[in-house]
Amino acid sequence: MDLQEQPASYRYESGMGAESESPSGFDEQKARNGVRLLLEAIGRNPDEAELYETWNRRVPKMLETLSEGMRDGEKPMLRMFDAESDELIVKTGIPLYSLCEHHLLPFHGSAHVAYRPDEEMVGLSKLVRYVRWRSRRLTTQEELTRDIATGLAAELDANGVLVELTATHMCEAMRGVETQTATTTRETVGNITDVDRRRFRNSIRRDAEQSGGSF
Ligand SMILES: [Zn+2]
């Protein structure tokens, strides 16, 4: 840490200056100001040497990463190739990490995704990357479930999409509101048959059995 860089008396300047706003649209200077104010709010002095990197670099960088899903420029490329059939394609057990817009705390768990391709499909790893990108935003579990389903339907030009998210919310667990309960949300877009739905459910059940967890 270089103490020389630290201003003697910090000034909460406007963050909208040209040099503080990165090309991605994230306002780093505002994030610095905000983290300093939060530290002050809980009675810590942000000018303590131990906290300098916290507000000056670490938390702003973390926020920039964890809000990538709000910026289309950071959306992963989904390279499509010809689908050999219109069979349902299923990917279960995708790691899910997002931020609750009510408390700015994480919710995490698993995402399960299925789609019925029209003419083209993507590799399963791309579904994982899409879910990760889409989750990096302030949102609610319900809204994220809808966003992933409608977003994938549009990106893949799919005939139908099924999404199920199961997540534990830190804002509940850490405050002792609900310590163990996981919440499940579901969304369907397009034409999905009962057979598709059953296949999706069976895949999720197998995934849960294999991982041995409650997800
Ligand atoms: Zn919350």
**Alpha carbons 86 and 117: distance in angstroms, whole number:** 5
Tokens standing for residue 8 = 């003697």
Where does 12-66 sit in CATH, by number? 1.10.286
pLDDT digits (tens, 9 = 90+) for 31-53: 999 999 999 999 999 999 999 99
Distance 202 CA to ligand 1 centre (A): 30
User: What DSSP designation does 21 have?
Assistant: B
Distance 177 CA to ligand 1 centre (A): 11
Q: Contact, 10 vs 16, CB < 8 A?
A: no
**Alpha carbons 125 and 29: distance in angstroms, whole number:** 35
Domain 80-211's class?
alpha beta
Tokens standing for residue 66 = 């964890």
pLDDT digits (tens, 9 = 90+) for 79-124: 899 988 889 999 999 999 999 999 999 999 999 999 999 999 999 9
Distance 159 CA to ligand 1 centre (A): 33
**Alpha carbons 75 and 69: distance in angstroms, whole number:** 7
* Start and end residues for every CATH 3.30.1130.10 domain found in the chain: 80-211
**Alpha carbons 160 and 107: distance in angstroms, whole number:** 27
* Start and end residues for every CATH 1.10.286 domain found in the chain: 12-66
- pTM for the complete prediction? 0.87
Q: Contact, 100 vs 169, CB < 8 A?
A: yes
C-alpha separations of 30 from 16, 50, 64, 128, 176 in Å: 8, 21, 11, 31, 32
